[in-house]
């Protein structure tokens, strides 16, 4: 089906939240933003979750129910691409993040992560599952996945509908970072090294473990682990500093931005700036403890963050260049975060008029921002600065 662009023009002036790291939403001020033209490139996507660019203006989009689709430059949405493995599309699970290899033009390799059911379990009925990472080659006609190989399976599998994490980032050294949730019911696992719950992993592209990972050779520790103490990471990107940046969902309050470093512990659930759903402290109610890292920034109340991208281009003006963009599922906006010395100093809320949950944000090869909205009839949007 060929889709025409629907263009919404609005002046994206928004409240600016002065938010220093470790401080929640604070004083509001007004800040002018570029005038944006929002183009609807594709619509009627079923809970789209992730976006990847594969050249010649074409894009791939994952739909959480388990479909992968090709979108042409004119907005034409292709039929589901064949070859996607069984996906447990239950609760927050499904077909989730997607990454095109940095050498995709030559090797046509994709990486994707998804909720994988245990064995031959019945899909969608509350059986055990976990996050899996796979690699595949996209066929020359872009109609099917070939040579699908599961590179990693999160262990142990548990019966849970929540907190799959699942963002993939290619590191500057060619390894892959994979973010994993603690599956909600297993939050204490985030503090131990004998499981993959609530962790960031570092893997080679064939699924093997880099020998310089921090816990290699440690008795009782899984060697894939890079960092610990995470809750549910649904945003990750490589920053201009060539380091990994992530954000993670807090409970009721305490959504965090972190820069995970090898072997470091980011605290969950021992420390948090949030509280239990409905109120009440988590554990001892600590927000800091020696040996555990403080977030670079935190949101209270929670915004339910998803998607994460730095803007490197100058298309939107100098003031926006270098900004960090994060989607909000709960409050249905795109956050532009201004950084200074690695700290968030200001937040600007964009796209509030859309009234849609923002699931993913990416900077395209053309230097423009692309956004996915997580709805039953979700959209792929392109943001253009008006001249």
- pLDDT band at 122; cut points 50, 70, 90: low
- pLDDT band at 342; cut points 50, 70, 90: confident
Residue 286: C-alpha distances to residues 170, 213, 267 (Å): 34, 29, 10
Q: What is the pLDDT, as a whole number, of residue 386?
A: 87
pLDDT in tens, 206-257: 999 999 999 999 999 999 999 999 999 999 999 999 999 999 999 999 999 9
pLDDT in tens, 125-140: 568 999 999 999 999 9
- Mean pLDDT, the chain, rounded, equals 92
Interval 344-366 mean pLDDT: 97
- pLDDT band at 15; cut points 50, 70, 90: very low
What is the edge-to-edge ordering of all strands in the sheet holding 129-138? Answer: 95-100, 109-117, 129-138, 145-153
Helix, strand, or coil (residue 127): coil
Q: What is the C-alpha to C-alpha distance for residues 242 and 24, in angstroms, rounded to an integer?
A: 27
First to last CA, the chain: 31
Q: What is the C-alpha to C-alpha distance for residues 268 and 271, in angstroms, rounded to an integer?
A: 6
Out of 13-27, 156-170, 197-211, 233-247, pick the least confident: 13-27
pLDDT in tens, 271-330: 999 999 999 999 999 999 999 999 999 999 999 999 999 999 999 999 999 999 999 999
| CATH number, domain 6-385 | 2.120.10.30
Interval 350-374 mean pLDDT: 98
Residue 314 tokens, joined? 């100058």
Residues annotated catalytic, as ranges: 163
Q: What is the pLDDT, as a whole number, of residue 11?
A: 34
- Which alpha helices (DSSP H) does the chain contain, by range? 104-107
Q: What is the C-alpha to C-alpha distance for residues 290 and 319, in angstroms, rounded to an integer?
A: 37
CA atoms within 13 A on the CB side of 150: 13
Phi and psi torsions of 354, nearest 5°:
-65, -35
Residue 197 tokens, joined? 């719950």
Please report where in the chains the tokens 């956050």 appear, as a residue.
Answer: 335
> Who has greater pLDDT, 342 or 253?
253
Peptide bond preceding 156 in cis form (omega within 30 of 0): yes
| 8 Å CB contact between 300 and 306 | no
pLDDT in tens, 53-96: 999 999 999 999 999 999 999 999 999 999 999 999 999 999 99
pTM for the whole structure: 0.92
**Residue 366 in this model has a pLDDT that exceeds 70:** yes
Phi and psi torsions of 106, nearest 5°:
-100, -45
């Amino acid at each position: 089906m060929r889709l025409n662009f629907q263009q919404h023009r609005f002046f994206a002036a928004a409240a600016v939240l002065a938010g220093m790291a470790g401080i929640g939403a604070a004083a509001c001020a007004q800040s002018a933003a570029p005038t944006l033209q929002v183009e609807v490139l594709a619509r009627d996507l079923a809970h789209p979750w992730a976006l990847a660019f594969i050249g010649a203006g074409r894009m791939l989009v994952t739909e959480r129910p388990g479909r992968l689709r090709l979108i042409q430059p004119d907005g034409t949405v292709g039929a589901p691409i064949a070859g996607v493995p069984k996906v447990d599309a239950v609760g927050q699970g499904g077909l989730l993040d997607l990454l095109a290899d940095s050498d995709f033009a030559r090797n046509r390799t994709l990486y994707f992560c998804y909720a994988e059911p245990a064995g031959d379990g019945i899909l969608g009925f509350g059986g055990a599952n976990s996050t899996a990472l796979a690699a595949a080659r996209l066929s020359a006609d872009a109609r099917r996945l070939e040579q699908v190989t599961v590179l990693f399976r999160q262990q142990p599998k548990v019966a849970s509908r929540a907190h799959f994490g699942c963002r993939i980032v290619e590191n500057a050294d060619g390894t892959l970072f994979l973010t994993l949730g603690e599956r909600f019911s297993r939050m204490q696992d985030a503090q131990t090294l004998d499981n993959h719950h609530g962790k960031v992993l570092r893997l080679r592209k064939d699924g093997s473990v880099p020998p310089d990972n921090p816990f290699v050779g440690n008795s009782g520790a899984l060697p894939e682990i890079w960092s610990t103490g995470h809750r549910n990471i649904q945003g990750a990107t490589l920053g201009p500093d060539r380091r990994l940046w992530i954000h993670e969902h807090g409970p009721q309050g305490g959504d965090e931005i972190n820069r995970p470093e090898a072997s470091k512990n980011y605290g969950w659930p021992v420390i948090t700036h949030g509280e239990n759903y409905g109120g009440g402290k988590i554990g001892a109610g600590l927000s800091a403890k020696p040996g555990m890292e403080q977030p670079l920034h935190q949101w209270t109340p929670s915004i339910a963050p998803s998607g994460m991208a730095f803007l490197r281009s100058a298309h939107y003006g100098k003031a926006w260049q270098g900004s960090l963009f994060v989607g909000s599922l709960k409050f249905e906006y795109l956050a532009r975060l201004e950084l200074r010395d690695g700290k968030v100093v200001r937040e600007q809320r964009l796209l509030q008029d859309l009234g849609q949950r923002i699931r993913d944000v990416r900077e395209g090869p053309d230097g423009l921002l692309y956004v996915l909205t997580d709805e039953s009839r979700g959209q792929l949007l392109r943001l253009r600065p008006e001249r």
